[in-house]
Structure 1
Amino acid sequence: MADENKGVVYMGPGTVEVQSTDYPGFMLKDGPGVHPDSVGREAHHGVILRVVSTNICGSDQHMVRGRTTAPEGLILGHEITGEVIERGRDVEFINEGDLVSVPFNIACGRCRACKERNTGVCLTTNPSRPGAAYGYVDMGGWVGGQARYVMVPYADFNCLRFPDKDQAMEKILDLTMLSDIFPTGYHGCVTAGVTTGTTVYIAGAGPVGLAAAFAAQLLGAAAVIVGDLIPERLEQARSFGCETIDVSRGDPKDQIEQILGEPEVDCAVDAVGFEARGHGEAAKEERPATVLNSLMDVTRAAGRLGIPGLYVTGDPGARDDAAKEGSLSIRIGLGWAKSHVFTTGQCPVMKYHRGLMQAILQDRAPIGRAVNATVIPLEDAPQGYRDFDRGAAKKFVLNPHGLIPA
């Protein structure tokens, strides 16, 4: 057996700790968030990874803030890149020594949803509802990957093998984004209809918003406008050629008009989610429907909205009873009147990750620089969470084994 495993554990609202944890095996054990029907589930189709990089995600931050029903003791982390050190009995095509990217979606590859490439809502990997992920509330109880070692089920289907390990390690700060935020931002733009010559408004300049902005440029957008409240994040968006608006200064529509000469865009992406704040004087208040309503307002008739920002069915910290169960005051009449198309839900990472990998390997997609990838040791994860919560314009990459060079 390899050396001791350690992981980042959610201890309750506002607190994570790095603790010794069980070394992974090919069977699901009882634990925080594990559905009773999954206890004892065998996963001989899986592999065990030595984690090379694993990232802190804004979705993790929602849990750590206490804004979900996540159970205490949950090992966090769904953005995983690692080296295969052991493979299960039923694995055929992934080998020990392979360096792989792992989609945050856990998908069986066998159910109707997976066969139709809707891997974000796999029907078999989570007994509670469609869709599973590592280390995440209501997502099946699979152990998270902010750890030294992790088990990845259905490895032949889920793992994306990098063709050249040395080349991959040289670009690891870009390739680590393939597990989630690069495909997620790209998916937000694709579903919003971003293509050559379009104008795009992206709400939110956190890592997913920055990844979406970068993806919009990759897709050929004529103008990419990013809105946020935090100056440091807006500065990061400008660093790779985006226009920016500070939504604390007023309605995005007015600022969009100053940039484009008209108060609307072709496409819009919500990279904020359910902890949205108001605009203008209301920017200090949480108003969870603000972004969705704003995007309908600024998107042209017959336009499309990509909504990769997270919305939940259980939010104990919400401002009212309706929002606590995910019911928001959305102006659906406005969206209907303008014939908008909405696309929501988890990004099906496998639709995009191979092509985006090739773009990275062929020097077409320096996504790590766009999101300001910042490497920290696993032991510094609690500080990383605190800095991220304060709005740092960084994508924190945990380095559990010191394999990423300084």
Structure 2
Amino acid sequence: MLDLKLIRTETDFVKEKLATRGVDAQEIDDLLALDQKRRDLIVKSETMKANRNTVSDEISQLKRNKEDASDKIEQMKQVSADIKALDEQLTTIAEDVSDKTSRLPNIPNDEVPVGLTEDGSVELRKWGEIPTFADFKPKSHWEIGEDLGILDFERGAKVSGSRFLYYVGQGARLERAIYNFFLDENEKAGFTEVLPPYMVNSESMFGTGQFPKFKEDVYSLKEADETLIPTAEVPLVNYYRDEVIPTEKLPVYFTALTPAFRSEAGSAGRDTRGLIRLHQFNKVEMVKFTKPEDSWNELESLTTHAEELLQKLGLAYHVITLTTGDMSFTAAMTHDLEVWLPFQDRYREISSCSNTTDFQARRAHIQYRDDNGKLQYVHTLNGSGLAVGRTVAAVLENYQNADGTVDIPEALQPYMGGQTKITKED
């Protein structure tokens, strides 16, 4: 959440920055007008309460002097009723101010390319050679998986609906090998593995920025204040919600393997086949809590680590910096890693690394004490390391052979019991 004081004192700056994210200046003006009304009412309420206290003292004095205080008592009854009504109005307005503020996205870093769509994202670097298939036309990962008998989309649809599947046999083993490889590599990089809850409450969804703006994109339980997590980022960031992290602990690195549940409400007709856009998928998430002065270096190290995972798998990729309009609601800057998929003949997102600065920490009230002992908000960062299903898709497509088999990347072979090739299931 943005600091309301910043919006008041640097209004033109905030308007200019948020305009690059599609926020109309009128939204800022409406918020500030409502905030000014709230502040005026606070002054009025405090003045009336001070007057009530003064008159109450006068009433007490009159009673001590055995004098008639009935007129002042009646007057104060009306004042008390007016104060109560004013305070109720203040509560409503304060909630409206908070709601409007909570719907404003984070302010983008100055180095983020400006654009309201994905067009204009800046490529930072490429790695790896794009594979060539001289003797055959590469197949899609879903066709490869179905032919090998390791991905079963038909039965997934029968049991759960579209965009669900079964991993079978060597497919399940490959998925398990990939996420165990990721977790081991993250541990080597200093991340503490966490096994978090898969359901969270509304306060947690608010803390990381999914609520209130994106309620339609999640799966919420009707009978309770619980939501199936859309990413492990939610329970990991909220681990320290409403807490002060001891300064000596910073930076804190967490990683977790969890399922992610997404309704994909806004993606009708997109990637309807395969593993790219599912309602349930596994993901290994990385989250960092840092001091503000360290967060930008931490973003680069987070991105570099995710790249190293792809390099060890031998998968070609590039890194891009997303535009102001394409990055997530909470992000101040996002680097996407996109892996090469031969069948689509293009790069596709496999990891997204973001610095959310103090945006989430302000919403979730996560603080630390600076060198002067003053409470400050930490900066939080998150990154996929990596989306497991998309990694499966990349391995199947990039390591496919003419005979329909798939070679297993060397880095995964120890996790597959030394197996070097996936062959057709009997």
TM-score tier, shorter chain, comes to: under 0.3
Give the structure with the larger helix fraction.
Answer: 2
TM (norm. structure 1) is: 0.24
TM (norm. structure 2) is: 0.23
**Higher RCO (Cα < 8 Å, 6 or more apart):** 2
The structure with the largest alpha-carbon Rg is: 2
